[in-house]
Chains A and B, each alone.
Chain A
């Protein structure tokens, strides 16, 4: 999945910055990075490779020539994967004949698994190491497993959001791990929760009529960065997917401003300053 640090010519474009200064190569990736984050002042990376295997690597392991924490379905397609910030575990969800199977791995051993009827669609997975939260199914439902996934999948009700904001489309579009809390994005709403299921705050998302805004980065203290489909002719929110723009949204004011066109699917991180980072699942 990775190789020891080398001086790669592929990184040459990233070495030309004056404000973004190249510091060091960690390693060569032979899979598709799903997420990167920092724990104990070192970077970690969650990588998907070989269609059916996930690996969680940290810089110290790469430098020591050690393998990362791996989990594999043994063949069937991975539907999703996640890992706690501490980097001491790995969760995969994969297709199986009965539907879907979740496997929780810690310390190079499969600790537990659970199978349930499910459609074979991509699944969002975030975990704090105790609770595993899933966005799953064609209806983009929200559910959770208790620690270790030793029991059945349980529904995570978004009804408190509806009670506060009124009628809204609540199929889940993204999950965001903020560390002590998590963010659930639906078609019409954004809501921040404690991992035990207590709602902290919710907002009406600046969704278009036909397509939701796509979260790109979430800073716990704001701002939020999202991507929005626009009509290329008018520059206004539209449909079709021919053009996108990046918008910086101030949660407190409920107002946004455009950063201009977005190309492909942007990845972003907001400088934490005094707060945490925010991967989107």
Chain B
């Protein structure tokens, strides 16, 4: 889950737990989508497009 320019956050909605927060220091995320495999995430910021992966706990 992202909050534009404030950070990129991973939440566990089964427990409402904030699993991880990346302070992205103004790098506003414009769009985000999980892959069908539920692991990879496409992230587009104002300037860059990249892929993240949700690692097991």
Which A residues fall within an 8 A CB radius of B? Answer: 2, 8, 10-11, 13-14, 16-30, 32-38, 41, 43-45, 47, 62, 217, 223, 225, 246, 248, 257, 259, 262-273, 276-277, 279
List 11 contacting pairs A-B, 8 Å CB cutoff, sorted by A: A17-B10, A19-B10, A20-B10, A43-B35, A43-B51, A225-B1, A248-B16, A263-B5, A267-B29, A267-B31, A279-B31
Q: Is the interface of B mostly helix, strand, loop or mixed?
A: strand
* A272/B38 contact (C-beta < 8 A), A14-B24, A28-B49, A35-B31 known: yes
Q: Which residue of B lies closest to A261 (CB)?
A: B3
Give the CA-CA distance A18 to B57 in the complex, in Å: 9
Q: Which of B23, B32, B36, B50 has the most CB of A within 10 A?
A: B50
Chain B 36-57: CB-based contact to A (< 8 A → 1; otherwise 0):
1110111111111111111101
**What's the minimum C-beta distance from B14 to chain A, rounded to whole angstroms?**
10
Which chain A positions have C-beta within 8 A of B8? 13-14, 17, 20
In whole angstroms, what is the CA distance A275 to B24 when docked? 29
Most buried by B among A10, A47, A270: A10
Contact check, B45 vs A20: say whether CB atoms are below 8 A apart. Answer: no
Closest CB-CB distance, A80 to chain B, in whole Å? 15
B2 touching A268 by the CB < 8 A rule?
A: yes
Q: How far is the CA of A37 from the CA of B49 in the complex (A)?
A: 12
**Please, which residue of chain B has its CB at the minimum distance from the CB of A33?**
B44
- By a CB distance below 8 angstroms, the chain B residues around A277 are 33-34, 36
**B contact residues, range:** 35 or more
Rounded to whole Å, the gap between the CB of A226 and the closest CB of chain B is 12
Q: A-B pairs with the 7 shortest C-beta distances?
A: A33-B44, A43-B42, A264-B4, A33-B30, A36-B31, A13-B24, A26-B49
Q: Which residues of A contact B25 (CB under 8 A)?
A: 13
> How distant is the Cα of A248 from the Cα of B46 in the complex, in angstroms?
27
A260 to chain B, nearest CB (A): 9
B13 touches A20 (CB 8 A): no
Q: Which of the residues A23, A30, A43, A272 comes within 8 Å of B53, measured between beta carbons? A: A23
Residues in chain B near residue A32, CB distance under 8 A: 30, 46
Looking at the assembled complex, report how far the CB atom of B13 sits from the nearest CB atom of chain A, in whole angstroms: 6
Q: Are A20 and B36 closer than 8 Å at their CB atoms?
A: no
Bound CA span A14–B49, Å: 11
Contact A266 B2 (CB under 8 A): yes
Contact A26 B51 (CB under 8 A): yes
Bound Cα distance from A25 to B54, whole angstroms = 16
Which of B3, B45, B52 is the one whose CB lies under 8 Å from A22? B52
B residues in contact with A217, CB < 8 Å: 1
Contact between B48 and A10, CB atoms less than 8 A apart: yes
| Contact indicator A14/B22 (Cβ below 8 Å) | yes
Asked if A23 contacts B50 (CB within 8 A), the reply is yes
Known A-B contacts A10-B45, A248-B16, A266-B3; the reply to A16 vs B22 at CB < 8 A is yes
